[in-house]
Every structure is written in structure tokens, then in C-alpha cells.
Chains A and B, each alone.
Chain A
């Protein structure tokens, strides 16, 4: 039979391993970014179409992570998507900053890309970005391509027909 103190020691090691594992998972594996609440600010952006944008999607400027999407809602008066961006407090952007929805890679997730403007005044908490461009929706893109292709084909046919006449 094992001594009481030996058992206590082993169980202590066991529980310590458990706590270390959970700490490792939370800090190293999860994106537990040490962003305290007082160092972030919220701004808004309205988009005609957000495509596949999701809550927690990254907000990037020149590819650098500067914030995250914290809420997406539908503005029922104007019928546009009202997106809330929680920005890292150490980054400031001018008031005429433009926002566009981009896709990382061909099939990657969608994120918001910010492009700095020239206005000397910066966006403050609660401001709304007005210069926005919507997500590229593949179906619409293909649809446009098809119509322009068909138009070109039809006009080509006409010229052929007139030439024959």
C-alpha cells in the first residue's frame, strides 16, 4: 500500500498537469488575444451585401489585424447590413477611411479590409464608415459575365447577318 504523502504528491502532479494542459490550450492553441475592453473602440460600417462575412471575422489594414467584427445586423429602414467593428485602441484611422469585404485566398474566409484616407481627423468611437464596397458574390459575377458575353455574342451575330445580306 502506498503512503498517504506519496498519493498526495502524485495527485498534485496530476492536477497540475491538467491545469497546465488547459492553460496551454487556452493561451497557445486558442486565439485568446489579450485585448482588454478599455483599449478597444467600436465603429460601424454599412454594406449593401456582406456575402459570407461572419461575426469574429478579422478586420485588417494592409493585411495587419487591427480589429474584429463583433456584430452583424440588418438595418430594417434602409435594408443594408449594419456591421459593428471592434477596433484595437492603438490603431486610429482617418474619417474618410474606406472599408471593403475581401476574401483571403480563393476559397478562404472573408474579412474586412480598411484603406486609410487623407482626412486629418480620425474616426472616433461610434462613427460610421461611409465609403464601403460590398462583397463579391460569385453568382452575380458569373451572371454579369454571362450577360455581357451574350450581348457580345448577339451583336457579333448581327454583324455576321448584315455582312451576309
Chain B
């Protein structure tokens, strides 16, 4: 009788339970993954292979994006700082913005869409074509042979890519600030070095990117492993990887920033 009233509530309850269930499931997945990681350490060549596909092949997009983000920061920063007559602080602004926020976050977003989606699609397709089941039949644990090396490769690659993104961004800011606009080179670097602290800015940024690496790769391999084994299912799982990763990166970034700075 009151169905029109209960139906939305029931839907809300279902969504809440589903979300909590997924959270618990992904945590159990992580524990199982860590427990099965022994083989990735013993056969490290498996991880190296995946570092090649996840990390090395992402170099181009990271280098080009980092350079352009740094150049845009240089241009916009100069326009605003020049209004307050403090365009000398451009180097400090570019470096701090990149090291603290933009480097780790943008590198993680790019990594999620470039490598995370590829991981999901690959594992999802392996599941759809019953390769994972075949491995189980041969007494090979797919979690140890397929999933764990990809996970560790992502965790290793992410800080490296973020550091490279930072360097390219700072170089881009230098190109615009010093070479194009003509701020004094010595001032640019000394302002940067005065403002940037090794522990506070650089190490915290790298710790952030490590957390993002864990989150992005975990989501990618989880969605691939849990994909509905059909063409539509793999497609949906890939989409979910990119969307969930992006949201988790931004939420995690807020939490980490609140704790760190």
C-alpha cells in the first residue's frame, strides 16, 4: 500500500549495503592479494614485465603532460603574480603547486586512464575467455601469477612517474618563466630552493603518489577480476575503473593533504 514510500527507501538501503559489501570485498581481495604476493618477489621478472607495460609505456604521456602543465602554470602564475609585483616568486609557486598537489594527482589520473584501464581490460578478458579458470585447473593461482605482479608493478611505477611529472613540470615552468618571459634565472632557482623543503614537500608528495599507486592498481585489478565475463561486462568494468579511480584519487588527496600539510 505504501509501496511508493518504501520503494525509494528500499533502494537507498540496497545501495548502502552494496557499497559497504564492495568495500569489504575489496579489502578481502587486497588481503588475499598480499598473501599471494610471495611469488612476485621470488619471480621478480614477472613484475618487471608488468612495470614495462604499466610504467615504461606511460612515459610519453607523463612527460608531455608534465611539460605542458608546468608551462601553463608558468604563464598563468606570471600573469597573476605580475599584478602584485612579485613575479620573482614564480619558481616557488610552480614548484610547490606541482610537488604538493598537481604532480601526484595528475600523474595518478593519467596512470589510471592509461594503465589502470588496460589492466582491467586485460584481466577482464582473461576471465571472459576462461584463462583464469584454466590456470586454476592447472593448480596455478591466478592471483599470484596474474594479479599480484600487476599490482606491484603499479605500486612501483606510480612514484617514479609522479617524480618525473614533477621534474618535467618544473622544467616547463622554467621554460616559460626564464626562457620566454625573461625572469632572472638565478632568482627563479633561488626562490624555488628557498620555498621547497625536502621532507615537507618532496617526500610528502612521493608518499601521496605511493598511496595513489596502491589505490589505482588495486581498483584496476579488482574490477578486472570481478568483471562480468562478457564483452559488455569488460567494457563496464573498464569504465568503472577509470571513474572510481578518479574519484578515489581526489578524495584520498583531500584526506592526505589534511593530514600532511
Interface residues in chain A, defined as those with a beta carbon under 8 Å from any beta carbon in chain B: 2, 4, 7-8, 10-11, 13-15, 17-18, 21-22, 24-26, 28-32, 56
What are the 3 tightest A-B residue pairs by CB atom distance, in nearest-first order?
A18-B160, A21-B163, A30-B198
Q: How far is the CA of A106 from the CA of B36 in the complex (A)?
A: 60
Is A24 in contact with B51, judged by CB distance below 8 angstroms? Answer: no
Is A56 in contact with B197, judged by CB distance below 8 angstroms? Answer: yes
Q: How far is the CA of A15 from the CA of B163 in the complex (A)?
A: 11
Determine which residue in A2, A8, A22, A29 has the highest number of CB atoms from chain B within 10 A of its CB, and name it: A29
Is A11 in contact with B196, judged by CB distance below 8 angstroms? Answer: no
Whose C-beta in chain B lies nearest to the C-beta of A17?
B164
Is B163 in contact with A31, judged by CB distance below 8 angstroms? Answer: no
Main secondary structure of the interface of A (DSSP, over half): helix
Q: Can you give 29 A-B contacts (C-beta < 8 A)?
A: A2-B52, A4-B45, A7-B48, A7-B52, A10-B52, A11-B51, A11-B52, A11-B55, A13-B56, A14-B51, A14-B52, A14-B59, A14-B157, A17-B59, A17-B164, A18-B163, A21-B166, A22-B202, A22-B206, A24-B167, A25-B170, A26-B202, A28-B189, A28-B193, A29-B95, A29-B196, A29-B202, A30-B193, A30-B196
Is B55 in contact with A14, judged by CB distance below 8 angstroms? Answer: yes
| B49 contacts chain A at the CB level, 8 A cutoff | yes
Is A25 in contact with B48, judged by CB distance below 8 angstroms? Answer: no
Residues of A within 8 Å of B163, CB to CB, are 18, 21-22, 25
Is A31 in contact with B194, judged by CB distance below 8 angstroms? Answer: yes
| B105 contacts chain A at the CB level, 8 A cutoff | no
Determine which residue in B49, B59, B99, B160 has the highest number of CB atoms from chain A within 10 A of its CB, and name it: B160
From B49, B55, B198, A26 is in contact (CB under 8 Å) with: B198
Residues of A within 8 Å of B166, CB to CB, are 21, 25
From B45, B49, B161, B202, A25 is in contact (CB under 8 Å) with: B202
Is A17 in contact with B196, judged by CB distance below 8 angstroms? Answer: no
From B45, B56, B59, B201, A30 is in contact (CB under 8 Å) with: B201
